[in-house]
């Protein structure tokens, strides 16, 4: 469906439904919202000099039965692809960058894995998430390797003073069941939180046109829990610990559709997973708050076992991070000084992919200065990383903002970033190359922001040039007819238009993204990168009736894009069609703390693909009961 048709669909929605629709608004439209990820220090949304969004707890609850993947797919500047239903291989493209070029953090600890099926983020339940912060654009000067496209940080729930419980239970299409419960409490000195969650669905068949066992529904199960504890001996000091774990199984198809996979689709393939994250931290304020010190040690483990017809394929990745950050308040602005050590490990396995355990480590130091004076604002950052395998990398970034009038402000930004070769790319016995270097990028961007009362609108332009990208080189010797090498280049350019505001009793959010993501082929031509739509848009609007009843809807649209190897000849192209889907939602507050929620997704049962040969969910419904003390 074209963008013009999408706009008509949105107008039709307003005319056809006598009730307003349920928004997935751009949360950073609230200028007082605090954002941490953009600078590693809390700053108001109206003061940051980067393209960032906060998805708060209220918006997460409006998502109903959805997953993190569902929620992120509706955000500006992000496109997602999935090879079937929940739990299957998933990729996030932030500003067109590859999925592995986006840094994923849970409470500051990276969870990036060597899993070629995508980030373990797809296994993290929404029930324990307090908010999600999205930083679009290079952020290697703040977070090191892999932050070429941006950063997605999950911030989990923590205990608060007083004793309270919360919970959710719901049921929906495909025998989908969801239940979550938590209890938290504390006083002036101690705070804790305990929670448990379970999500299960019979799912859909991952493959389109599947046969035999591939034609059945692919179920997904995910069960987990979390615990956190903090000790605050005084108001200036906090010491804490948190632990989170989820495990389950995700079924997927063997890929019987030619030219891939087992010809008869006779085996029910599945992936058993366990994802764990834990950390300890100390936050201390000295000299009346002039100096804030944060010392943190954390670990994330991605443990998987893929079951195929003739063999099992294990995958185990562990990331450990030790960081010490110091925020020093200056007469003008705030100084950031930090040091980090990160170590990543993989285990040897019996398939021969890793003939022995391998590990790499990275030591880094960084400095930053953020300030504003009069109508001027600036942010300067520099970082130096020393990696045990690929060597030394220096990155830097700068941003400048100017308040043109009380309603208009502009900002300019420039930054460098890099992606480290993964342990799989370095050491896999079949295709690894220990001589790989890091991928590198240079990004330029500019934005104009308009703010008046409850309205915020912005236009952001960016150009990100990548070189030394890792690709397949068939000229290198290897058991699979080649190996990875630094041979590719890419150019990611585009613009994002976003609006969030309130017109009377109507809350409205809208965004449009133009993306031109290209790579240079063997003949020297710049050709489109796969699975990235050039045009994408969202439109959301909602309203609350009588203080208790809220109704809403959203339109999500993607343009055409190709999959597989790009072909210049029209007859040889593997092109995926564009689409637009409409979702409806409602919420009724039975009491101040208890509400019944419902959603109708893909209202008109639109058939579409985000990855060639793989299904997406058609029309589905879900209803749930939420207890959330205010």
Q: Angle at CA 515, nearest 5°, toward 142 and 506?
A: 85
Q: What pLDDT, in 10s, does the model give residues 154-169?
A: 999 999 899 999 999 9
Question: Which of 76-85, 193-202, 252-261, 553-562 is predicted least confidently?
Answer: 252-261
**What SS3 class is residue 289?**
coil
Please classify residue 445 by burial: count the beta carbons closer than 10 Å to its beta carbon, then call 0-12 exposed, 13-18 middle and 19+ buried: buried
Q: Which domain holds residue 236?
A: 3-627
pLDDT exceeds 70 at position 12? no
Rounded average pLDDT over 20-40: 60
Q: What pLDDT, in 10s, does the model give residues 298-319?
A: 999 999 888 877 777 888 899 9
H/E run at residue 185 = strand 176-186
Q: Angle at CA 258, nearest 5°, toward 255 and 262?
A: 45
Rounded average pLDDT over 496-525: 91
**CA separation for the pair 194, 182 (Å, rounded):** 6
Question: Which of 47-56, 187-196, 370-379 is predicted least confidently?
Answer: 47-56
Q: What percent of the chain has pLDDT over 90?
A: 63
Q: What pLDDT, in 10s, does the model give residues 571-611?
A: 556 789 999 999 999 999 999 999 999 999 999 999 999 98
**CA separation for the pair 378, 369 (Å, rounded):** 8
**CA separation for the pair 401, 482 (Å, rounded):** 47
CA neighbor of 206 nearest in space, from 297, 87, 32, 34:
87
> Can you give the pLDDT at residue 3?
40
* Residue for token pair 């941490």: 36
Give Dmax over CA atoms of the chain in angstroms.
71
pLDDT bin (cut points 50, 70, 90) of residue 113 is confident
pLDDT exceeds 70 at position 283? yes
Q: What pLDDT, in 10s, does the model give residues 198-208?
A: 999 999 988 88
How many residues are present in the chain?
630
Q: Please give the structure tokens belonging to residue 4.
A: 């013009």
Strand 549-558 versus strand 526-528 pairing type:
unpaired
Q: What is the CATH number of the domain that holds 531?
A: 2.40.170.20
Q: Where are the alpha helices (DSSP H) in 17-92?
A: 57-62, 68-73
What residues contact 560, with CB distance under 8 A and at least 6 apart? 533, 534, 575, 576, 577, 578
8 Å CB contact between 416 and 392: no
Count of domains observed in the chain: 1
């Amino acid at each position: 469906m074209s963008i013009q048709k999408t706009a008509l669909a949105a107008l039709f929605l307003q005319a056809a439904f006598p009730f307003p629709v349920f928004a997935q608004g751009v949360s950073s439209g609230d200028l007082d919202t605090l954002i941490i990820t953009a600078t590693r220090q809390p700053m108001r949304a109206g003061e940051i000099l980067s393209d960032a969004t906060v998805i708060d707890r209220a918006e997460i609850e409006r998502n109903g039965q959805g997953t993190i993947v569902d929620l992120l797919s509706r955000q500006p500047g992000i496109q997602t692809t999935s090879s079937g239903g929940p739990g299957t291989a998933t990729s996030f493209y932030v500003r067109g960058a590859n999925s592995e070029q986006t840094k994923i953090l849970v409470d500051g600890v990276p969870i990036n894995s060597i899993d070629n099926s995508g980030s373990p983020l797809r296994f993290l339940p929404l029930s324990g998430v307090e908010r999600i912060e999205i930083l679009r654009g290079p952020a290697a000067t703040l977070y090191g390797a892999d932050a070429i496209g941006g950063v997605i940080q999950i911030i989990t729930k923590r205990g608060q003073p007083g004793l309270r419980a919360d919970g959710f239970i719901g049921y929906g299409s495909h025998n989908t069941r969801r239940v979550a419960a938590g209890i938290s409490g504390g006083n002036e000195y101690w705070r804790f939180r305990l929670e448990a969650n379970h999500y299960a669905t019979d799912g859909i068949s991952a493959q389109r046109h599947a046969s035999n066992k591939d034609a059945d529904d692919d179920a997904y199960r995910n069960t987990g829990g979390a615990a956190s504890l903090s000790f605050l001996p005084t108001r200036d000091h906090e010491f804490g610990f948190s632990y989170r774990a989820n495990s389950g199984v995700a079924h997927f198809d063997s890929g019987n559709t030619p030219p891939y996979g087992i010809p008869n689709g006779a085996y029910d393939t599945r992936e058993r997973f366990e994802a764990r994250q834990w950390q300890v931290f100390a936050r201390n304020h000295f000299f009346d708050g002039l100096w804030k010190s944060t010392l943190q040690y954390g670990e994330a483990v991605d443990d998987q076992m893929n079951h195929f017809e003739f063999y099992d394929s294990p995958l185990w990745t562990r990331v450990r991070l030790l960081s010490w950050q110091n925020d020093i308040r200056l007469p003008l602005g705030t100084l950031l000084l930090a040091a980090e050590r990160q170590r990543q490990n993989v285990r040897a396995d019996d398939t021969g992919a890793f003939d022995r355990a391998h590990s790499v480590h990275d030591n880094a130091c960084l400095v930053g200065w953020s300030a504003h004076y009069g109508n001027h604002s600036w942010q300067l950052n520099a970082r130096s990383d020393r990696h045990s395998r690929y060597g030394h990398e220096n990155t830097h970034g700068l941003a400048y903002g100017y308040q043109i009038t009380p309603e208009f402000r502009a900002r300019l930004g420039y930054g460098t970033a890099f992606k480290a070769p993964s342990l799989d790319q370095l050491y896999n016995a079949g295709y690894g190359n220990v001589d790989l270097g890091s991928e590198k990028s240079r990004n330029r961007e500019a934005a104009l922001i308009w703010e008046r009362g409850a309205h915020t609108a912005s236009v952001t332009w960016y150009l990100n040039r990548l070189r030394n990208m890792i690709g397949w080189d068939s000229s290198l010797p290897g058991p699979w007819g080649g190996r990875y090498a630094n041979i590719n280049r890419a150019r990611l350019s585009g613009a994002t238009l976003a609006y969030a505001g309130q017109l009377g009793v109507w809350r409205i959010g809208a965004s449009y993204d133009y993306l031109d993501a290209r790579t240079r082929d063997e003949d020297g031509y710049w050709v489109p990168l796969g699975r990235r739509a050039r045009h994408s848009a969202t439109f959301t609007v909602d309203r609350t009736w009588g203080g208790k009843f809220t109704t809403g809807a959203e339109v999500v649209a993607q343009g055409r894009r190709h999959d597989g190897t790009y072909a210049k000849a029209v007859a040889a192209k593997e092109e995926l069609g564009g689409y637009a889907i409409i979702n409806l939602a409602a919420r009724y507050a039975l009491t101040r703390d208890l509400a019944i929620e419902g959603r109708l997704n893909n209202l008109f049962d639109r058939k579409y693909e985000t990855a060639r040969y793989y299904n997406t969910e058609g029309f589905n419904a879900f209803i749930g009961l939420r207890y959330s003390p205010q």
